[in-house]
Structure 1
Amino acid sequence: MENNPTYLFVVAAALVDQNRNILVQQRPQGKPMAGLWEFPGGKVEDGESPEQALVRELQEELGVVIETGTLVPAAFASEPLDGKHLLLLLYTCHEWTGEVQNLEAHDMKWLPVSALEELEMPPADIPLVAQLRAIL
């Protein structure tokens, strides 16, 4: 058991479109876990709330504007990662302004929640799929 683990706080969004499909993106080459599929999001910076971080990350990665009030906490994962301890907070979001664009990922696609189970995903994202399936 770690005495004083260093925590890595990460936020992600399951953007849900009008057809109940969820956006996933493929990690680019040159990054850890390149080629794996994940929910868009990123690290929470010092001084940010999880919701503020997610709004910022989605603007940077997808070019969309999201109001913090439209983010609904959905699930979380807790897992060791590279000598740290990852806490991944997943939110659902059904409303945003602007057209979703692929600004940083290798690829992205909209899929029904059932199809997410077939994707190769980072270990922390895998249990989130089952949790999403239960609530959507």
Structure 2
Amino acid sequence: MAVLVADGDRPREGLQDGQARKVVDVAVGVLVRADGDFLLTSRPPGKVYEGYWEFPGGKLEQGETVEQALRRELHEEIGITLAAVHPWKVELVDYPHALVRLNFCKVFEWTGELHMREGQLFAWQRLPVAVRPVLPGTLPVLAWFAAERQFAGATHTSE
């Protein structure tokens, strides 16, 4: 089971050597179409959490920025080229296999057709999502979307 770690919390200590667990930085693309639907992809066969649904992305390589990694990963994994990348939120998730810092970026424009190059599936979704199971690190984004929708609804009703 994954644990979401609040900003400022220290990672739990490693069990073998007493050292704090190393944080793995991941760039995550939250692709949003003009109609408000967002893209979820399934974890590929053979990977941890195989079949779970998530926002696409991947690990930063040595010397890469979040944006560079996101552009590379989404081209490699799903065959698209991103236009503007909008850094959004950061969430630390403590999975049993890794402590992961998820750097979420919103993307509203891209070129190319979706090609799932790692055997994964994809689905355009809106709240509430229909696909299951959802990766724990994806849940905060769904909550942020719900909060944005609630705020937008409240703003429109007060005008």
- TM-score with structure 2 setting the length: 0.75
Structure 2: gaps (5+ residues): 1-11, 14-18, 150-159
- Equivalenced residue count is 133
Q: Aligned in 2, Cα 1:6/1:64: closer, same or farther, shift over 3 Å?
A: same
Task: Name the residue aligned to 1:127.
Answer: 140
Task: Name the residue aligned to 2:125.
Answer: 111
* 8 Å contact kept, 1:75–1:132: no
What is the alpha-carbon distance in structure 2 between the residues aligned to residue 43 and residue 124 of structure 1?
A: 14
Task: Name the residue aligned to 1:55.
Answer: 71
Shift of 1:117: 7.3
What is the alpha-carbon distance in structure 1 between the residues aligned to residue 88 and residue 57 of structure 2?
A: 14
Q: Percent identity?
A: 32
Shift of 1:83: 5.4
Give the secondary-structure state (helix, strand or coil) at the position aligned to 2:90: strand
Q: What CA deviation, in whole Å up to 9, does each residue of 1:79-110 have, x standing for no partner?
A: 22245421111111001111222222421111
* 8 Å contact kept, 2:53–2:131: no
What is the alpha-carbon distance in structure 2 between the residues aligned to residue 105 and residue 20 of structure 1?
A: 26
Task: Name the residue aligned to 1:85.
Answer: 99
Structure 1: gaps (5+ residues): none
Matched residue type, 2:22: T
Stretch moving more, 33-42 or 13-22: 13-22
Give the secondary-structure state (helix, strand or coil) at the position aligned to 2:80: coil
What is the alpha-carbon distance in structure 1 between the residues aligned to residue 97 and residue 47 of structure 2?
A: 17
What is the alpha-carbon distance in structure 1 between the residues aligned to residue 119 and residue 35 of structure 2?
A: 23
Q: What CA deviation, in whole Å up to 9, does each residue of 1:46-74 have, x standing for no partner?
A: 1100110000001001111114xx11122
* 8 Å contact kept, 2:45–2:119: no
1:1-136 equivalences in 2 (<5 Å): 1-2=12-13, 4-67=20-83, 70-82=84-96, 84-112=98-126, 114-116=127-129, 119-135=132-148
Stretch moving more, 114-123 or 13-22: 114-123
What is the alpha-carbon distance in structure 2 between the residues aligned to residue 133 and residue 75 of structure 1?
A: 15
- TM-score with structure 1 setting the length: 0.86
Asked which structure has the greater CA Rg, the reply is 2
Give the secondary-structure state (helix, strand or coil) at the position aligned to 2:24: strand
Q: What CA deviation, in whole Å up to 9, does each residue of 1:13-41 have, x standing for no partner?
A: 11111211101111122111011000000
RMSD: 1.9
